[in-house]
């Protein structure tokens, strides 16, 4: 009888959490994945995990904090999967350098004139940055997101992705070449 | 002297790679000298160094976990109903 009581109790509590926090979680997941379906799946899985592990939640942290920590793990899992399934798509150096290793004329970096310190206060810049991240191929997007969205050392991320350190910084390097070009074309040139 | 210079000279392709490598890990003494020498002579790679750093900072600030930071809340009632009926 007590077990049954517990179960109704946890169902009611989790239902209440869904009403209170699912929009917050969804907004966050959508921002992190830029995909409606993926974000919905991740939030749904988050509540399922919360429901299944309800007895482990002892009220030591705020429920919202606990739910967010589950969601963040789910998002990291999502990007690890994306990376592994991303295959061998490559950003080619030929898009940036000639056969002698010199910058191609049209991609040769020149100093950006804008004041860079307050860029992130500008919602339009954030949008441009989001678009550029979004346009990266999946494996690069995954590495960039895992690298910059969490407080983790390089070797931890390498381990998570199952890649060597050399491979890791080279992926980041190619992603940055691409991001730099995209930001230049869509923002700094204007 | 010429031999030494050839040994230390980098292409822009290699120099830009070392710039991003340096952001993630330690460079060897040779790589550090090569990179320093190259950027002291190359405006494009000096600009790249600055921009690569700026992009890292922007990515870090933008992607880093701030839950309730400024973004307007998206309401998704359908999702709520779906989750509740699945419990």
User: Are A180 and B55 in contact, with CB atoms under 8 Å apart?
Assistant: yes
Q: In sequence order, what are the residues at sequence separation of 6 or more whose Cβ sits closer than 8 angstroms to the Cβ of residue A41?
A: none
Predicted TM-score (pTM) of this structure = 0.84
| Rounded alpha-carbon distances, angstroms, from residue B5 to A104, B10, B29, B41 | 24, 10, 16, 13
Whether B35 contacts chain A with CB within 8 A? no
Which of A46-50, A54-58, B24-28 bottoms out in mean pLDDT, i.e. has the lowest? A54-58
Q: In the A/B pair of chains, how many CB contacts fall below 8 A?
A: 135
Residues A176-190, mean pLDDT to the nearest whole number: 92
Structure confidence by residue, pLDDT tens digits, A4-46: 556 678 888 899 999 999 999 999 999 888 889 999 999 999 9
Structure confidence by residue, pLDDT tens digits, A130-179: 899 999 998 999 999 999 987 778 888 898 888 999 999 999 999 999 99
pLDDT-derived band at A2 (thresholds 50, 70, 90) equals: very low
Inter-chain CB proximity B44 and A103 less than 8 Å: yes
Inter-chain CB proximity A169 and B64 less than 8 Å: no
Chain A residues within 8 A of B75 when measuring between CB atoms: 23
Q: Nearest Cβ partner of A26 from B64, B68, B76?
A: B76
Nearest to A147 by CA among B77, B51, B55: B55
Highest-scoring range by mean pLDDT, A43-57, A74-88, B34-48: B34-48
Inter-chain CB proximity A173 and B17 less than 8 Å: yes
Q: What is the pLDDT of residue A1?
A: 43
Look-up of token digits 């709520």: B80
Helix (H) or strand (E) holding A28: helix A2-33
Phi-psi region of A111 (alpha: psi -120 to 50; beta: other; left: phi over 0): beta
Note the ipTM here. Answer: 0.85
Measured distance CA(A18)–CA(A24) in Å, rounded: 10
Inter-chain CB proximity B61 and A149 less than 8 Å: no
Whether B41 contacts chain A with CB within 8 A? no
- Best A18, A113, A146 member to test B by mutation, with max B CBs in 10 Å, is A18
């Amino acid at each position: 009888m007590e077990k049954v009581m517990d179960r109704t109790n946890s169902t009611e509590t989790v239902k209440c959490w869904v009403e209170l926090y699912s929009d917050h979680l969804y907004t966050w997941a959508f921002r992190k994945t830029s995909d409606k379906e993926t974000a919905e799946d991740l939030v749904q899985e988050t509540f399922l995990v919360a429901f299944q592990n309800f007895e482990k939640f002892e009220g030591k942290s705020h429920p919202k904090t606990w739910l967010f920590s589950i969601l963040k793990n789910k998002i990291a899992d999502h990007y690890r999967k994306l990376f592994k399934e991303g295959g061998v798509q490559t950003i080619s150096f030929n898009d940036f350098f000639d056969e002698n290793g010199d910058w191609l004329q049209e991609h040769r970096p020149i100093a950006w004139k804008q004041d860079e310190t307050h860029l992130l206060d500008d919602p339009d810049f954030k949008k441009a940055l989001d678009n550029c991240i979004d346009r990266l191929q999946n494996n690069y997007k995954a590495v960039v997101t895992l690298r910059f969205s969490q407080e983790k050392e390089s070797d931890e991320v390498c381990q998570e992705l199952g890649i060597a350190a050399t491979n890791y910084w080279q992926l980041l390097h190619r992603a940055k070449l691409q991001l730099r070009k995209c930001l230049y074309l869509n923002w700094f040139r204007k | 002297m010429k031999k030494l210079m050839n040994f230390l000279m980098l292409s822009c392709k290699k120099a830009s790679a070392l710039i991003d490598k340096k952001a993630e890990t330690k460079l060897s003494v040779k790589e550090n000298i090569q990179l320093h020498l190259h950027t002291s002579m190359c405006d494009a790679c000096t600009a790249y160094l600055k921009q690569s750093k700026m992009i890292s900072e922007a990515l870090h600030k933008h992607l880093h976990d701030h839950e309730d930071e400024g973004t307007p809340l998206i309401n998704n009632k359908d999702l709520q109903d779906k989750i509740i009926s699945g419990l």
